[in-house]
Amino acid sequence: MIKKFSEILKIINGKNQKKVESEHGKYPIYGSGGVMGRADESLCPRDTVVIGRKGNINNPLFVEEPFWNVDTAFGLVADQEQLMPKYLYYFCKNFNFQSLSTTVTIPSLTKANLLNIQLSLPTMDIQKVVVNKLDKISILVDQYRGLLGLYDSIVKSRFIEMFGDPILNPKGWIQEELSKYSLKISDGEHTSVPRVESGIPFLNAKHILSDGEIDFSSASFISEENHNRIFKRCNPEINDILLTTTGTIGNTAIVKT
């Protein structure tokens, strides 16, 4: 059965948190990136999906307690007689909200566009089976990420043990500029380019993870035509290294595909 969001959920607009913000408030304050503080009041009930209204619109969150959402985030509350909240969350995790963006520069969503989204809605029994399986997979993924973080710290520790701190250089290694070895450094493009539903992945700093991986799951896309026409300075090839220079500075990843 195909249904629109308007038939199976309601959307709670976020509000400015200044009047309810409190250091020891009972409720968390959520934006599209996660918890931003505490509040004395809540807007959304437990088991609500948070979707960014501006900026970070492709990173849904599932909140299991009542909370206040800021004015750049929507709260999606499922009609639990038809739709399991966790089923809605997993649907949102796999939906490309960038395709609904109403602006080119800062990704933005409107309530009207969200309410028109359609999804295939199976019976509650099937939803429970799907959610149960995806919960188990999510646990495994989190464990895997934890191991990657541990391995990363081991590699860094081993590097320091073998070569010493690269800044302090306690072992007295000869230091030379990378330019001597014909290293080419290209800054990313800063041009605003229209996004499309599929095409060439468009990456920014948030897609370069601390474990050295590239997260393509939340990437938006540009057309091949715009890629060939505009992106001349930075066109990474296999085995090139990507380095973040904004946000979390210093994350690196090797281009593998």
Q: Is the pLDDT of residue 104 over 70?
A: no
Q: Which of 71, 72, 74 is nearest to 16 (CA)?
A: 71
pLDDT digits (tens, 9 = 90+) for 230-247: 766 677 888 888 888 877
Most confident range (mean pLDDT) of 41-50, 55-64, 137-146, 179-188 is 41-50
DSSP-derived letter for residue 45 is -
Amino acid at 47: D
How would DSSP label each residue in 192-256? Answer: ----BSSSEEE--GGGB-TTS-B--TT-EEE-HHHHHHH--S----TT-EEE--SSSTT-EEE--
What is the phi/psi pair of residue 216, to 5°? Answer: -85, -10
The average pLDDT across 87-107 equals 84
Whether the pLDDT of residue 9 is over 90: the answer is yes
125 φ, ψ to 5°?
Answer: -65, -45
What CATH topology corresponds to 2-121?
Answer: Adenine-n6-DNA-methyltransferase TaqI; Chain A, domain 2 (3.90.220)
Give the model's pLDDT for residue 47.
Answer: 97
Domain range summary for the chain, segments of one domain joined by +: 2-121, 122-170, 176-257
CB count within 10 Å of CB 5 equals 22
User: Rounded distance, CA 127 to CA 124, Å?
Assistant: 5
What mean pLDDT comes out for the span 108-120? 92
Confidence of residue 20 (pLDDT cuts 50, 70, 90): very high
In this predicted structure, the answer to whether residue 120 has a pLDDT above a threshold of 90 is: yes
Q: Supply the pTM of this predicted model.
A: 0.65
Q: Tell me what pLDDT residue 186 has.
A: 78
Of the pLDDT bands very low, low, confident and very high (cuts 50, 70, 90), residue 228 is confident
DSSP 3-state percent helix, strand, coil across the chain (nearest 5): 30, 25, 50
pLDDT in the model for residue 205: 83
Biggest CA–CA distance in the chain, Å, is 69
What is the predicted pLDDT for the residue at 5? 96
Edge to edge, the sheet with strand 48-52 lists 9-13, 73-78, 48-52, 61-63
Mean pLDDT lowest among 79-93, 117-131, 202-216:
202-216
Show the CA angle centred on residue 121, arms to residues 125 and 59, nearest 5°: 105
Q: Where residue 144 falls among pLDDT bands split at 50, 70, 90?
A: confident
